[in-house]
């Protein structure tokens, strides 16, 4: 019964992508969705209701800060595109993850890659993110502070 909502969501997604709502296609969608859910069954865990308000506040903060970074970086990249005389100091820097988890590293890499002007190219075994930057000096100067802020929010969201 717990899997009915994900099953329905996967079936509806399959039907939307296949653009065929025939009875046979619905059956195929249910079978495919059932196989996917049986392979990707998440472990059950108790919800920590006491920390839920703090996690929601951290998630809202995460989204707002990400949105602000997107706007700020977008303006900087637009200035570089509009005025080609501005100096571009491209390069690759290593940003240590320091998150302690693969999820934290993945969330940090996602944040960095979404931000215009920076792109995580590779993550090494220690969690170091090799990042291409349009302005190496600025990125190098702000990387530690930004990574610390991301890790703090990610820990509050996921516990």
Cβ neighbors of 53 (< 8 A, separation 6 or more) are none
pLDDT one-digit tens code per residue, 7-47 = 888 889 888 888 888 899 899 989 998 888 888 776 665 65
Q: Are 115 and 80 contained in the same domain?
A: yes
Number of domains observed in the structure of the chain: 2
Q: Are 82 and 13 contained in the same domain?
A: no
**Considering the domain boundaries, does residue 44 fall inside one?**
no
Q: Are 18 and 94 contained in the same domain?
A: no
Of the candidates 148, 66, 79, 158, the one whose C-alpha atom is nearest the C-alpha of residue 112 is 66
Q: Are 93 and 140 contained in the same domain?
A: yes
Q: Are 14 and 83 contained in the same domain?
A: no
Q: Provide the token pair at 36.
A: 């996917």
Q: Are 8 and 72 contained in the same domain?
A: no
The answer on pLDDT for 1 being more than 60 is: no
pLDDT one-digit tens code per residue, 98-157 = 877 888 888 889 888 888 889 999 998 888 899 999 888 888 888 888 888 888 888 888
Please, what sign has the CA dihedral across residues 73, 77, 79, 82?
Answer: negative
**Considering the domain boundaries, does residue 100 fall inside one?**
yes
Q: Provide the token pair at 3.
A: 């899997």
**Considering the domain boundaries, does residue 104 fall inside one?**
yes
Task: Label residue 49 exposed, middle or buried (CB < 10 Å: 0-12, 13-18, 19+).
Answer: exposed
**Considering the domain boundaries, does residue 8 fall inside one?**
yes
**Strand ranges for the chain from DSSP E:** 91-95, 118-123, 129-133
pLDDT of residue 67: 92
pLDDT of residue 43: 62
Q: Are 32 and 102 contained in the same domain?
A: no
Give how far the C-alpha of residue 62 lies from the chain's centroid of Cα atoms, to the nearest Å.
11
Q: Are 61 and 132 contained in the same domain?
A: yes
**Considering the domain boundaries, does residue 45 fall inside one?**
no
**Considering the domain boundaries, does residue 109 fall inside one?**
yes
Q: Are 14 and 87 contained in the same domain?
A: no
Average pLDDT, the chain: 85
pTM of the full structure: 0.64
- Cα–Cα distance between 76 and 53 in angstroms, integer? 35
Q: Are 112 and 150 contained in the same domain?
A: yes
pLDDT one-digit tens code per residue, 57-72 = 988 999 999 999 899 9
Q: Are 91 and 146 contained in the same domain?
A: yes
Taking every pair of Cα atoms in the chain, the longest distance, rounded to a whole number of angstroms, is 62
Q: Are 105 and 27 contained in the same domain?
A: no
**Considering the domain boundaries, does residue 47 fall inside one?**
no
Q: Where in the sequence is the domain holding 19, given as residue range(s)?
A: 4-39
């Amino acid at each position: 019964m717990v899997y009915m909502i994900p099953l329905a969501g996967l079936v509806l997604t399959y039907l939307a992508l296949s653009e065929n709502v025939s009875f046979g296609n619905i059956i195929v969608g249910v079978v495919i969705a059932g196989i996917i859910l049986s392979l990707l069954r998440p472990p059950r865990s108790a919800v920590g209701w006491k920390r839920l308000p703090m996690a929601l506040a951290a998630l809202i903060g995460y989204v707002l800060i990400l949105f602000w970074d997107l706007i700020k970086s977008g303006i900087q990249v637009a200035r570089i595109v509009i005025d080609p005389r501005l100096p571009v100091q491209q390069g690759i820097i290593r940003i240590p993850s320091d998150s302690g988890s693969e999820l934290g590293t993945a969330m940090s890499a996602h944040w960095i890659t979404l931000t215009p002007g920076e792109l995580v190219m590779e993550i090494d075994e220690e969690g170091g993110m090799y990042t291409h930057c349009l302005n190496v000096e600025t990125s190098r100067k702000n990387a530690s502070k930004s990574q610390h802020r991301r890790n703090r929010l990610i820990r509050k969201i996921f516990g």
